[in-house]
Structure 1
Amino acid sequence: MLPNRPFPPSPSLRPARALLALACAAALPAAAQAQSAPPLRLPSVVVSATYTERDTFEVPASIDAEPARRLDRLNVNVSETLNAVPGVLARNRQNYAQDEQISIRGFGARSTFGIRGVRLYTDGIPASMPDGAGQVSHFNLETADRIEVLRGPFSALYGNSSGGVVQIFTADGTATPELRAGIAGGSDGTLRANLNARGVAGDLDYNLGVTHFETDGHRAHSAAQRTSGNGRLRWQLPGGGNLSLVLNTVNIPNALDPLGLGRAQFEQDPRSVAEVATTYNTRKSVSQQQGGLIWEQPLAAAHSLRAMGYYGQRDVFQVLAIPPGAQASPLSQGGVIDLANEYGGGDVRWLWNGQLAGAPLEVAAGVAVDRQRQHRTGYENFVGDALGVVGRLRRDQIDRVESRDLYAQASWTPHPDWTLSAGARRSRIDFDSRDRYITATNPDDSGTADYGQTTPVAGVLWRASPTVHAYAAYGRGFETPTFAELGYRNDGGSGLNLGLAPARTRNAELGVKLRPDAALGMEFAVFRADSRDELAVATNSGGRTTYQNIDRSRRQGAEAALRVDVAPAWQFRTAFTWVDATFESPFLTCTGSPCTTPDTPVAAGQRIPGVAREALFMGLRWQPAETGWQAGLEGRYIGEVPTDDLGRDRADAYAVFALSAGYTLDLPRWRIGTFARVDNLFDRHHAGSVIVNDGNGRYFEPGPGRTFLVGADLRWRAR
């Protein structure tokens, strides 16, 4: 990566785009020859908790499967879908230089960029790195079928940093091949355009699509563009097996970063930008390409195998607002970050459906290996009096992390009313950093850190009646520090903070699921997670944040969800979450910037920042048929959110509403859908998200006021 280039679309991205375009073109002849069939509906099965397809009603865990897209949405950000899932706080930061914020039952809330504490997957391929850091910017909703969200103890079976699991799955090709195109536009220069081809041609099932999104931004200095592509080609093999090729790509060139706002500026002008953001032209560019192969093959005697391998590249270039004075120290690593990532791995899994003592038994066991190599360079963000440019080299290192995991899980039904489930995962994560920037005043900072943990989990499902199921589950999880959190020592010295320990969690859950009939479904769960060695901020100095372990923390609460058809054409749903997330032991932290030594006590019982205690979603939808008129009303309430460990400020609670309406016309070979949508219907001033523990007190990221969106979706079906 050349440090002074304006980061145009990566050359390596162009072959991926060409491949997608070629595949779309190739799909058209197959579409023209296929026979018509009724549209496919979303299946009610999930795979996230058991590694096998199972109805959510039969899983001893809190898990939801949500349709990834809906006609009356922008269909760009996963928060559009996850807002309706209990236990999940998903927030669009209105800042595409940073990823969305996703936390599950309070896990992951402290992340100021990227996603921590929650494991991410696309079609079973990890979207989280071995150190636990992840992104959802390459999740393509237009090609997706569903998003699964797993909460609670069973997420520990996914290893490091699994406070919860979010998986997106590409939709199957339609029996009648289709070519889809969509466009939507609205307030703040928002535009989304997409093209998608899906269908079946002989033994080949295909779904390929490209989405382009751009916005001027709700705030000043927040314009962005994002182009993402996703494709899956699946071949049927002899003996009932299949081979899937999954390709996805994302390109975000020069997304402007408006940073957060302090309380006074947030109240006075929520569309404004922090002055330093324009002074340094803070911005970020991302280019990622990833591919994976998945082979699934049934064998004799109810055995089957699944093997997956993947490889990807992700380049990140970011200009920060660190003043030159803070870079005067010979140990400073500059104000420009340039990362070149290569990552890959594989997973081999054996599954067996048999019997134990004459009762059904399912067993899954496997091994997974994931590796990441990151070339991290840092530069000064000034040259003379010119700011926001690439200056002298101040950091050059090669970081490697590797995880090696063994896992096994079994589900046994000794009686029709009872299913017992248990499993364990043994994880080993090795960090290695090789310093290549060594001077007389900047010593060799190379080092290693190794972590290992076994995470067992067990659960029981009791079928109290055909319509009422109850369950209990318990497990242990862990979360290592990421490379970003290891990056700086909290004693002011050079090198990695290799003294950090992984957080370890004991996680318990009780729940009830009710399905009195096809028109009504209810779920309720209570949970508690006690953690040791929780990661928290130690210091803020010179634009750098360092971390420390604190003894104990706790996250406990309750979730409830209801789905009901109140009339033949009316559907109502609601999801409520209450989370009490607190530090259970006292510790010292910093109170400002610069701060090189923690000196202010945080009392036991202080709320963990970034976690809303209450969250409520309600939605009412009128849809007499798949075609014709439809309308919807949604409301969302988020309780107040502490902004830092000391609780010195809080984002106020707020409620926002959205109203949508549309019309779908079905013709012999065409389906045309149109919609109009108004978000934040009553123009409520609110903080859509917060930057936890920001050293400059710029905690608030304003949510947009009243916005408008209109769009159309076209589907051409072969005869």
Structure 2
Amino acid sequence: MKLWISVLLWLCPLFLSAQTKITTLDKNSKAPISGVLVKIQGQANQVTDENGQVEIDLNNPGILTFLHISYETLSISAAPNESLTLELIPVITSLSEVIVTGFESERPLVHQAGAISKVLENELYRFNENSILSAFNTKPGIRVEQRAPASYRISIRGSSLRSPFGVRNVKVYWNDIPFTSPDGTTALNLLDLSNIQNAEIIKGPAGSIYGAGNGGVISMSSRKTVTENYLSADFGIGDFGLLRYRVGIDQKVGNGGISASYVSQKSDGYRQHSATDRQVFQLAMHTKPSDTQTLSAQILYSDLNYQIPGALNQAQVEVDRTQARPGSVAQNSSIAQKTIYGTLSHQIELGKKWDNSTALYMNNTDFENPFILDYKRETAFSYGGRTKFTFDDKWGSFPVKIIAGAEYQYGKTLAQNFGNRQGKADTIRFSDDLISTQAFIFQQFEIEWTSKVLMTLGLSENFGRYDINRSIDAGPNDPSNNTKNFDPIVIPRIALVYKVNQWSGIHGSISSGFSPPTIAEVRTNEGSINLDLEAERGVNYEAGYRGKFGIFNVDVTAFYFQLDQTITSYTNEQGVVLFRNAGQTDQKGIETSLDYVLVRNQNAFFQEIKLNHAFTGHYFSFGEYESGGNDFSGNQLTGVAPNTLVNILDVRTKPGFYLNFTHQYVDAIPLNDANTVFQESYNLIGGRAGWRTTLGSRWDVEAYGGVDNLLDEQYSLGNDLNAFANRYFQPAPGINFYGGMKIGLRY
């Protein structure tokens, strides 16, 4: 009898399904989550109970998908007889839940001392997926312009004043590594939207921890973990010949993973001679060598070609908005740029109190730019890195955090300018070897004087140098070696936060900033070398409040920024853009946002209805500014809209249908220092509607369509400032449509 009982007990599990017990918790609060829908491959769906638990009968390993309206979807592989505890990431409903790392201090946004905006992944994909422009422009204080389909200019609090083209006066990081070149410029157009998962934007000087750039800092990151084996494919089309497709794969390997993606995007463009062709490949590896270390490596290759239609005067705009500037087609005004970018990042915990993060990069670029007036070729190589040590402890009874580190960048470029004969390089005009060196050391001390008062003291010491060694000069000047040394600059910052409660805080700060001219501003396209151009210096005073009132999230910041030795652009009689220091500017402003969730119910037809409003008031003017016998003192700052307003509505339903609606108002913008020419105010309305769902537990499917500029406004998205021959305007498209599909497979 005992023998038969033993045999039955041994055989029993073979006839019964194995129980897999799963507990779901909120990642931030660790509280159990009830009502989580669990999709089980080949079986009926189940729901977690009031303790956040569910027991599932599994005969074989399978894929489980967890869905909840308030949390991000998660898929895992589960085996019979497992006991799992899963932490789901909340969908942001409160500013206190938004964690940001601005000023190298990871804290909830409500308790950060500074004007910081975060662009989340779902915000990037509310629009046409051909650029970052629309998503960034929903944030107060930020304006991304597009002079040609792949030519971006970023203005944070008016910082585009000195940027006739490209991204200047703003420091950009990608995966914690400097993406801004040592010469001070940033080729943001190398990145596809799929290379960015989210972004943080610091508005105003952040030199105490990030070095040069009065405009601020943009820190972007791609996906840093691989949670499942996943194949994905996207396909999108749109007006003006837009065709975009992407293929990607995520593969788990041990305790890390490998990701690879390829994106191709082509467009004929709205205007004559405005076609774009961009191919981007990204390969990333993430692993954990030990419990205290993480290691990441990435390769980014971008092959970008785009045509430059050029700016028009008002008469040309009225005749035909789509025409190119005369001469652009014949001279093949365009840019071809191939870049390979390799990175290596390492994080390690050095005991209970210390940790270190170090990132290195190498970059090689071939650049070719035929323009109406000349033909430029450059071959550039650069390398650099950033390291940071963090120490957490107590000073007596006061919690303290000390952050210290350094950043170094070196770049060498062979830059040659030729004549342009019908789009072909002609006789060489001048050739330079350009060497750029930028470095700084930073320290930051944080102390919590009480449970409610946090103080931050930051300081950086900055060094910079340009070497311009001219080996060929076909003009009247002899070849020469030129050096521009920037005196070591110390940049301090002090900030205070008062934690009103868990959901709100008051912040204030005084920060200094500086921005040296880029090497392209010192060495100009007509061959002159302006060694007298000085770095901009400024001081920013800022105060703000962030908090939650019921369903409302409020963020208000007021600031006053006084800038000395402001660098402005102008054009000579040949149309070449040149630069000069223009005295002083006074910049007063207010930036506010209000968002709220009207509906959030897992079981209702309308699962979520959200609204957001963002207002920017930038009341900027020149101080004492005289040039060419003209007095521009007191005029509005060129290129800055005094008022902008953004309104957003997002709707999501239980069957998977969604709607994203956006309205943007932009005030009149002065286009020259004399304030005699303006871009008229305009309203942009756009929307995206679609359907996304999970079929079974393996397939993710989405179909979408959208419209931009629904009112068919006639406006210029990227204006030329202080333009010669009154060529101020770069007309943007009227009403246009787009659509696409996405498919994902877990395997």
Identify whether the pair has TM-score above 0.5, normalized to the shorter chain: yes
RMSD (CA atoms): 2.1
**Matched-pair contact (CA < 8 Å) for 1:360–1:413:** yes
- Which one-letter code corresponds to 1:204 in the other structure? G
The match for 1:409 is 444
Q: Distance in 1 between matches of 2:217 and 2:620?
A: 19
Q: Distance in 2 between matches of 1:505 and 1:579?
A: 17
**Matched-pair contact (CA < 8 Å) for 2:515–2:536:** yes
**Aligned pair partner of 2:705 in 673, 676, 681:** 676
- Which one-letter code corresponds to 2:401 in the other structure? E
**Matched-pair contact (CA < 8 Å) for 1:144–1:170:** yes
Flag the 1:551–1:516 CA change in 2: closer, same or farther, 3 A. Answer: same
The match for 2:84 is none
**Aligned pair partner of 2:643 in 610, 614, 618:** 614
**Aligned pair partner of 1:217 in 269, 292, 305:** 269
Q: Distance in 1 between matches of 2:611 and 2:704?
A: 20
TM-score, length basis structure 2: 0.84
Over residues 694-714 of structure 1, what are the superposed CA-to-partner deviations in whole Å (9 max), with x where a residue is unaligned? 223211111110100011111
The match for 1:83 is 137
The match for 2:468 is 433
**Matched-pair contact (CA < 8 Å) for 1:153–1:474:** no
The match for 1:11 is none
Aligned length: 653
Q: Distance in 1 between matches of 2:398 and 2:536?
A: 38
**Matched-pair contact (CA < 8 Å) for 2:467–2:483:** yes
What is the Cα deviation at residue 538 of structure 1?
A: 5.6
Q: Distance in 1 between matches of 2:650 and 2:519?
A: 44
Q: Report 1:374-385 matches (<5 A).
A: 374-382=413-421
- Tell me if 1:698 matches 2:737: no
Over residues 585-612 of structure 1, what are the superposed CA-to-partner deviations in whole Å (9 max), with x where a residue is unaligned? 1221xxxxxxxxxx34132111221111
The match for 1:365 is 404
- Tell me if 1:487 matches 2:523: yes
What is the Cα deviation at residue 58 of structure 1?
A: 1.9
- Tell me if 1:571 matches 2:610: yes
**Aligned pair partner of 2:633 in 604, 621, 637:** 604
**Matched-pair contact (CA < 8 Å) for 1:506–1:529:** yes
Over residues 116-144 of structure 1, what are the superposed CA-to-partner deviations in whole Å (9 max), with x where a residue is unaligned? 11111110111112232112112232243
**Matched-pair contact (CA < 8 Å) for 2:205–2:213:** no
The match for 2:537 is 504
Q: Report 1:123-202 matches (<5 A).
A: 123-154=175-206, 156-202=208-254
Q: Distance in 2 between matches of 1:291 and 1:122?
A: 11
Flag the 1:425–1:440 CA change in 2: closer, same or farther, 3 A. Answer: closer
- Which one-letter code corresponds to 1:56 in the other structure? L
The match for 2:392 is 353
What is the Cα deviation at residue 75 of structure 1?
A: 2.0
**Matched-pair contact (CA < 8 Å) for 1:405–1:427:** yes
Flag the 1:358–1:231 CA change in 2: closer, same or farther, 3 A. Answer: farther
**Matched-pair contact (CA < 8 Å) for 1:67–1:81:** no
What is the Cα deviation at residue 516 of structure 1?
A: 2.9
- Tell me if 1:278 matches 2:329: yes
Q: Distance in 2 between matches of 1:676 and 1:537?
A: 40
The match for 1:269 is 320
Q: Report 1:93-132 matches (<5 A).
A: 93-96=147-150, 99-132=151-184
What is the Cα deviation at residue 624 of structure 1?
A: 2.6
Instruction: Indicate the SS of the match to 2:266.
Output: strand
Over residues 636-687 of structure 1, what are the superposed CA-to-partner deviations in whole Å (9 max), with x where a residue is unaligned? 1111111122223111110010122111131121011011101111211111
**Matched-pair contact (CA < 8 Å) for 2:429–2:474:** no
- Which one-letter code corresponds to 2:540 in the other structure? N
Q: Distance in 2 between matches of 1:525 and 1:266?
A: 38
What is the Cα deviation at residue 177 of structure 1?
A: 2.2
Q: Distance in 1 between matches of 2:444 and 2:407?
A: 14
Instruction: Indicate the SS of the match to 2:660.
Output: strand
Over residues 614-634 of structure 1, what are the superposed CA-to-partner deviations in whole Å (9 max), with x where a residue is unaligned? 111111011134x61111211
**Matched-pair contact (CA < 8 Å) for 1:110–1:609:** no
- Tell me if 1:562 matches 2:594: yes
Q: Distance in 2 between matches of 1:439 and 1:106?
A: 38
Q: Distance in 2 between matches of 1:577 and 1:420?
A: 27
Q: Distance in 1 between matches of 2:435 and 2:468?
A: 6
The match for 1:582 is 621
**Matched-pair contact (CA < 8 Å) for 1:88–1:104:** yes
**Aligned pair partner of 1:304 in 355, 375, 395:** 355
What is the Cα deviation at residue 345 of structure 1?
A: 0.5
The match for 1:650 is 678
- Which one-letter code corresponds to 2:389 in the other structure? W
Flag the 1:179–1:600 CA change in 2: closer, same or farther, 3 A. Answer: farther
**Matched-pair contact (CA < 8 Å) for 1:101–1:109:** no
- Which one-letter code corresponds to 1:170 in the other structure? S
Gaps of 5+ in 1: 1-32, 323-334, 589-598
Q: Distance in 2 between matches of 1:346 and 1:689?
A: 33
Over residues 517-568 of structure 1, what are the superposed CA-to-partner deviations in whole Å (9 max), with x where a residue is unaligned? 5x43110000111011111236514232222212211221000001110222
**Matched-pair contact (CA < 8 Å) for 2:466–2:483:** yes
- Tell me if 1:445 matches 2:499: no
**Aligned pair partner of 2:502 in 466, 484, 500:** 466
Instruction: Indicate the SS of the match to 1:57.
Output: helix
Flag the 1:651–1:304 CA change in 2: closer, same or farther, 3 A. Answer: same
**Matched-pair contact (CA < 8 Å) for 1:688–1:702:** yes
Deviates more, 1:539-548 or 1:558-567: 539-548
- Tell me if 1:232 matches 2:296: no
- Which one-letter code corresponds to 2:353 in the other structure? A
Q: Distance in 1 between matches of 2:208 and 2:712?
A: 41
Flag the 1:435–1:53 CA change in 2: closer, same or farther, 3 A. Answer: same
The match for 2:343 is 292
Q: Distance in 2 between matches of 1:374 and 1:531?
A: 31
Instruction: Indicate the SS of the match to 2:187.
Output: coil
**Aligned pair partner of 1:454 in 461, 466, 490:** 490
Instruction: Indicate the SS of the match to 1:92.
Output: strand
What is the Cα deviation at residue 511 of structure 1?
A: 0.3
**Matched-pair contact (CA < 8 Å) for 1:140–1:229:** no
The match for 2:511 is 475
Q: Distance in 1 between matches of 2:125 and 2:556?
A: 29
What is the Cα deviation at residue 62 of structure 1?
A: 1.3
Instruction: Indicate the SS of the match to 2:580.
Output: strand
Flag the 1:681–1:651 CA change in 2: closer, same or farther, 3 A. Answer: same
The match for 2:380 is 341
- Tell me if 1:514 matches 2:547: yes
Q: Distance in 2 between matches of 1:617 and 1:542?
A: 39
Q: Distance in 1 between matches of 2:652 and 2:184?
A: 41
**Matched-pair contact (CA < 8 Å) for 2:690–2:705:** yes
**Matched-pair contact (CA < 8 Å) for 2:162–2:569:** no
Instruction: Tell which structure's C-alpha radius of gyration is larger.
Output: 2
What is the Cα deviation at residue 574 of structure 1?
A: 1.3
Flag the 1:205–1:57 CA change in 2: closer, same or farther, 3 A. Answer: farther
The match for 2:561 is 529
Instruction: Indicate the SS of the match to 2:209.
Output: helix
- Structure number with higher relative contact order (C-alpha < 8 Å, ≥ 6 residues apart): 1
What is the Cα deviation at residue 373 of structure 1?
A: 0.8
**Matched-pair contact (CA < 8 Å) for 1:503–1:535:** yes
